[in-house]
Amino acid sequence: MLGFGLSALAEFIPLPENQFVDFGIIAILLPWNVITVLILIFGKKYITIPRLGFVKFGEKRKKIKKRLLIFLLINVVVAFVLLFFTISGFFSLLQLNTSIESLIVGILFITLPLSVLAFFLDFYRLFFYAILSGLGFFFTELFYPIVGEPYDVLLSFGAIGIIITTIGLIYLVQFLHKYPLNK
């Protein structure tokens, strides 16, 4: 979410763009995503595994992961169908308020899938993150008349990303105190 918020800064990067690709957004999101994946990989290797060990999941967990994969694949297909309806102008026929439309999109494409993921993984903090993230587009619509573009995206998703990151850092510090590295 923080990366999505920061992608709003692409407007200030003088790189070419066309109707399909905004190279400014790529210049922000690509390094951001690479860095976050590296933090995940190295954090697991140098922080988690030395303290807790390596876990292999049993058959029950593997079945849950298969169901989750099927659900996420269905969600991707539905997302493409709704994207087609959006591009074709179908939703403009419904004459929805843009705030309501953004709330519906956020709930359907962010809150719902992340909530199902939280349920299957027994990761209940993710429910809170799902709600916050799903409201991001709605907050963007609310901030637009006040701060304009691109600050509406930066403010809404940046704030959500900072909240999620702060909570994660608090849990990391608690984890490090609870499980000190054995020598």
Confirm whether 160 is domain-assigned: yes
Instruction: List the one residue out of 97, 153, 86, 164 whose CA is nearest residue 127.
Output: 164
Higher pLDDT, 171 or 25: 171
Residue 94 pLDDT > 70: no
| Residue 25 structural domain | 2-55+96-178
pLDDT value for 108 = 80
pLDDT value for 171 = 95
- The Cα-based distances of 19 to 23, 64, 84, 145, 153 in angstroms read 11, 40, 16, 25, 20
Higher pLDDT, 20 or 48: 48
Confirm whether 81 is domain-assigned: no
pLDDT value for 21 = 61
Place of tokens 């494409």: 109
Q: Where are the beta strands (DSSP E) in 26-132?
A: none
148: left (phi over 0), alpha (psi -120 to 50) or beta: left
Place of tokens 């860095």: 35
Confirm whether 16 is domain-assigned: yes
Under a CB-based contact definition with an 8 Å cutoff, are residues 127 and 115 in contact? yes
Residue 65 pLDDT > 90: no
| Phi–psi pair at 8, nearest 5 degrees | -65, -25
pLDDT band at 89 (very low <50, low <70, confident <90, very high): low
Residue 85 pLDDT > 90: no
How many structural domains does the chain have?
A: 1
Higher pLDDT, 73 or 95: 73
Residue 91 pLDDT > 80: no
Confirm whether 66 is domain-assigned: no
- Per-residue pLDDT tens for 12-33? 777 766 666 667 778 888 889 9
Confirm whether 21 is domain-assigned: yes
The secondary structure of the chain in percent helix, strand, coil, rounded to multiples of 5, reads 80, 0, 15
Confirm whether 19 is domain-assigned: yes
Return the ∠ at Cα 112 (arms to 107 and 114), rounded to 5°. 115
pTM for the complete prediction? 0.77
Q: CB count, 10 Å around CB of 176?
A: 12
> What is the distance, to the nearest Å, from the Cα of residue 119 to the centroid of all Cα atoms in its chain?
17
Between 36-45, 74-83, 101-110, the lowest mean confidence (pLDDT) is in 74-83
Across 141-153, average pLDDT: 89
Confirm whether 38 is domain-assigned: yes
Instruction: List the one residue out of 116, 153, 108, 156 whose CA is nearest residue 132.
Output: 156
Confirm whether 67 is domain-assigned: no
- The Cα-based distances of 117 to 15, 47, 64, 92, 160 in angstroms read 36, 24, 10, 31, 19
Under a CB-based contact definition with an 8 Å cutoff, are residues 141 and 106 in contact? no
Q: Which tokens sit at 180?
A: 């000190």
